[in-house]
Structure formats: C-alpha cells, structure tokens
C-alpha cells in the first residue's frame, strides 16, 4: 500500500523518468538499427568478414555495462560529455549491435537459395534483389533482433542512472543510496513493466511489418 501511495504521489516524476528511459533506449536502438541492418546486409557478401564482425559484436556484449560506462568517462570527457546522456546512448548502441547485426545477417543469409536464383533469373540487379525480395523476407527476423535489443537494453539503461543519464534507474540508485525500498521497488517494477510492454508493442509491429504472404504461410503451417 505504502508503495502504491508513493507511486501515486510521484506519478509526475515517474512519467518523466519513464519518458527519459524510453527516449534513451529508443534513440540508441534506433541508431543501432540504422547502423546494424546495413552492416548485417553488407557482411553477407563475405563470410570471413561476417565472422569477424559478429565476433567483435559478441565480445562487446560481454563487457559489463558498469565497466563500459567507466571506460567511456575519460574518453568522452575530452569533449565534455563524460557522463550523462551521450555515454548512455553509446553503450546501448554498442550492446544493440549484436542482436541486430546477427539477426539481419542470418535472415538475409538464410533466404531460400531458390528465391535468390529466381530473383537473379528474372533479371533483378543486386540492389533490386535486396529491396524487392531479400529485405522484405528478412524483416520479421530483423525485427526480432530489434526487439531483443530493446528488451535487453531497457535493463542496461537502468544502470545508466549512475552516470547521470536519468531514466527509471534513478529511482533504483536513489532507493539504494537513501535506503528507501519504496523508490527501489518502484524503479525495478517500472523497468520490468516497461520491458514487457515494449516487447509486446514491438511484437505487434513485427507482425505488421511481416509481408502478408509470409504471415499466411506461418499461420497455415
């Protein structure tokens, strides 16, 4: 009850923090999508490059977020951005690369060779093949990667409160430093709920973006 009361009393703040959180993750994963998808497509051309890129992306994900923030502070301090918004976005951007690049690569790579041959056979250029056939077919899997990135990084972003990036993590960090379980639990619950809601919202988007003919086949299969 006490917790609910606290939440209601601080509804405005909760809203602000939630929006901050969404904007941080949204911007970071948005940029990650814009970079990761082209990278994922590009590396389908060369298997050796693909393996190297995916390897690097996998290593990045293994770096603990606290360590990553720590590393970025001195580097970004050079341009006066050691803490706050920028390092938080960069961290999430980096973490998002793996699921997005990997899913894009896998999806394009796994396009049925017969379809690729048919696309060549009708006289599509490589660009046309990507635009008209391969990317549309890859969209569901690419979107699944984006979803993974979002859900993963909603959690990571909670830690970014420690470098002053704001977001729902602020409740958690204050709750710990002030020994206030109300704030701690409110932050934790809010982060979890946000992750779940984001997951469902993106799943709905993924279904919408899935080409119609493929939705039919998966429904009947």
Contacting residue, 49, 59, 197, 216, with another protein by CB under 8 A: 216
Contacting residue, 1, 78, 179, 220, with another protein by CB under 8 A: 220
Residue 76: partners with Cβ closer than 8 Å, 6 or more residues away: 82, 86, 87, 90
Distance between CA atoms of 195 and 25, rounded to whole angstroms?
11
Closer Cβ to another protein, 104 or 183, answer by number:
104
**189 contacts another protein (rule: CB under 8 A):** no
Binding mask 98-137 for another protein (x = CB under 8 A): --------------x-xx-xxxxxxxxx--x---xx--xx
* C-alpha distances in Å from residue 97, one per residue of 64, 147, 194, 196: 15, 12, 21, 21
Segment lying near another protein (by CB under 8 A), choices 79-87, 100-108, 146-154, 211-219: 211-219
Distance between CA atoms of 150 and 90, rounded to whole angstroms?
14
Q: How many residues bind another protein (CB under 8 A)?
A: 24
**Residue ranges in contact with another protein by CB under 8 A:** 112, 114-115, 117-125, 128, 132-133, 136-137, 211-214, 216-217, 220
């Amino acid at each position: 009850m006490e917790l609910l009361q606290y939440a209601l009393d601080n509804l405005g703040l909760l809203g602000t923090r939630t929006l901050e959180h969404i904007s941080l993750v949204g911007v970071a994963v948005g940029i990650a999508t814009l970079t990761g998808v082209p990278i994922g497509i590009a590396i389908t051309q060369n298997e050796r490059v693909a393996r190297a890129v995916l390897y690097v992306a996998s290593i990045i994900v293994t770096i603990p977020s606290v360590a990553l923030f720590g590393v970025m502070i001195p580097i970004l301090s050079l341009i006066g951005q050691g803490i706050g918004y920028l390092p938080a976005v960069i961290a999430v951007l980096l973490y998002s690369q793996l699921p997005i690049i990997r899913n894009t690569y896998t999806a394009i790579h796994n396009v049925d060779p017969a379809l690729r041959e048919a696309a060549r056979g009708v006289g599509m250029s490589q660009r046309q093949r990507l635009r008209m056939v391969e990317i549309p077919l890859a969209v569901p899997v690419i979107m699944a990667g984006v979803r993974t990135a979002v859900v993963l990084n909603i959690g990571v972003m909670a830690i970014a409160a420690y470098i002053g990036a704001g977001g729902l993590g602020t409740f958690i960090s204050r709750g710990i430093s002030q020994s206030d379980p109300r704030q701690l639990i409110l932050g934790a619950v809010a982060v979890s709920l946000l992750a779940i809601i984001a997951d469902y919202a993106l799943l709905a988007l993924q279904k919408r973006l899935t080409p119609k003919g493929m939705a039919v086949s998966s429904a009947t299969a």
